[in-house]
Amino acid sequence: MTITPSTPAGTLELLPAEQAIHDAMLDKIRRGFRRFGFPAIETPVFERADVLLTKTGGETERQVYFVQSAGSLEAGEAPDLALRFDLTVPLARYVAEHEHELVFPFRRSQIQRVYRGERPQRGRYREFYQCDIDVIDRDELSLRHDAEVAAAAIAILEDLGIGSVTLRINNRRLMRRLLEEVGIESEDAQTEVLREVDKIEKKGVDAVGRTLVDSGLSPESVGKLLEFTSVSASGVAAIESALSTLPARAESEAAEVAEVARTMAALGVDEDSFALDLAIARGLDYYTGTVYETRLDDHPELGSICSGGRYDDLAGQYTTTRLPGVGISIGFTRLFWQLREAGLLPEGSPAVPVSVALMSDDDLEYSLGVAARLRAAGIDTETQMTPSRLGKQLKAADRRGCVLVVIAGESERQRSTVSVRDLTRGEQVEVPLSDLVDHVTRRLSQEP
């Protein structure tokens, strides 16, 4: 029986050229995280099920992949491990477990795959990369860190070369004061309204307004609330001015947003790169203060490409220590897919830029020495191990995305030279072996 090969639904599998772009983008994110002082950690791909599902249940639990060995399955044992569905719960466990070994405020970056049992559809993945940074402290965490993680996210997204971005800021506590202003007092009712407000961009203001009225709110309350959510401003002065128009009961929370905006500007963030947007609610109850969403300015249809916010107690299920934190996350796999679908992927380097051809078995030792010389200089190089016609080797190297083919045949070997074929320009020159590294370096950097 022949099994038809196919990629599992809900996973992203790339050919080498696109994989090179994918990995180069991830490398830029890693470097950006380090540049802002967020050292990397990794946690296991699976966690104990009781740890992972401590305060979940419902839809989240239905999406979890449980891990079970064949032996325990045969024995009828319940699985005690599950694949992580995000990087936040593992972070909570990590901080609680290592609390007395960590230095606070604790800063970390984490770039790893996570797993969710999503219904397979275009752009929805069961396995995907998340790229997270967080700052966690004991008891209290300065608002300045809310600005810091936002500044890092903007800089890193700009590093990716995918276009200008705008990070939109709101505050969940501010929204709760505004809900009180329109007569919505109970925390449960506020939570339900915030979940609906978070759908304004997807459903539209009118549709959200009708839903809120249908849920029992008065048209007057809904009208006032939607008036609040229409408030937006860009630039520190404009943000402070917009916040000053809000009701007095929200003064303290509005001051938090203003402080975050001022600190972002002090961190050197272009004021056109962030904005106040009171329609950003982040529907998750997890967030308690500052919240963020980030979009590409020229392609808002791609939706949020980076989001996050502040939470009051990261690891309350695992420790009695209060551990407030703030973080932001790039859903990288979905972002990469969206950029690819929209034709917006940045230019990438070839998977392997240089190929050393092999003309005959007699040239093998010389060719391998040439390749070793290039690799010793830090130039990624593939070596052909089986001789074949030069035309065939050039065609294959071109299809693999190589830029240069180094030919080290008998005549070159006798003269201690090599011939270098530039596949992008259709040019070929002979250079002394001693000059090879300099020549290849110049060509790859597109110098004349």
Give the model's pLDDT for residue 162: 93
Mean pLDDT of the chain, nearest integer: 92
Stretch 274-279: mean pLDDT: 94
Say yes or no: domain 354-442 is CATH 3.40.50.800: yes
> Cα(355)–Cα(359) distance, rounded to whole angstroms?
13
Stretch 259-280: mean pLDDT: 96
> Cα(314)–Cα(298) distance, rounded to whole angstroms?
35
Q: pLDDT digit string (tens) for 86-116?
A: 999 999 999 999 999 999 999 999 999 999 9
> At 101, which amino acid appears?
E
Q: Is the pLDDT of residue 249 over 50?
A: yes
Q: pLDDT digit string (tens) for 214-246?
A: 888 888 988 898 999 899 999 999 999 999 999
Q: Strands 354-357, 404-407: parallel, antiparallel or unpaired by DSSP?
A: parallel
Order the strands of the 81-83 sheet from edge to edge.
46-48, 81-83, 66-67
Give the model's pLDDT for residue 58: 47
Q: Give SS3 for 327.
A: strand
Per the structure block, which two tokens stand in for 426? 């259709």
**Which is higher by pLDDT, 188 or 310?**
310
Percent of the chain beyond pLDDT 90? Answer: 71
Give the model's pLDDT for residue 358: 97
Give the bridge partners for 66, in sequence order: 82
pLDDT band at residue 159, thresholds of 50, 70 and 90? Answer: very high
| CB atoms inside a 10 Å sphere around CB 438 | 11
Q: pLDDT digit string (tens) for 109-157?
A: 999 999 998 787 777 899 999 999 999 999 999 999 999 999 999 999 9
Dihedral angle of Cα 316, 261, 166, 163, to the nearest 10 degrees: -100
Lowest mean pLDDT among 140-144, 165-169, 196-200, 381-385: 196-200
Q: Is the pLDDT of residue 344 over 80?
A: yes
Stretch 283-311: mean pLDDT: 88
Whether the CB-CB separation of 291 and 308 falls below 8 Å is answered with yes
* 354-442 and 16-341 share a CATH fold: no
| CB atoms inside a 10 Å sphere around CB 120 | 12
Q: Give the DSSP letter of residue 137.
A: -
Give the model's pLDDT for residue 60: 60
**Which is higher by pLDDT, 70 or 28?**
28
Give the model's pLDDT for residue 71: 85
pTM of this prediction exceeds 0.85: yes
Q: Is the pLDDT of residue 56 over 50?
A: no
pLDDT band at residue 448, thresholds of 50, 70 and 90? Answer: very low
pLDDT band at residue 394, thresholds of 50, 70 and 90? Answer: very high
Q: Is the pLDDT of residue 55 over 70?
A: no
Of the candidate CATH numbers 2.40.50.140, 3.30.930.10, 3.10.129.10, 1.20.1300.10, the domain formed by 16-341 belongs to 3.30.930.10
Domain residue ranges of the chain, discontinuous segments joined by +: 16-341, 354-442
Give the model's pLDDT for residue 349: 81
> Cα(412)–Cα(398) distance, rounded to whole angstroms?
22
Whether the CB-CB separation of 129 and 27 falls below 8 Å is answered with no
Whether the CB-CB separation of 324 and 141 falls below 8 Å is answered with yes
> Cα(115)–Cα(128) distance, rounded to whole angstroms?
7
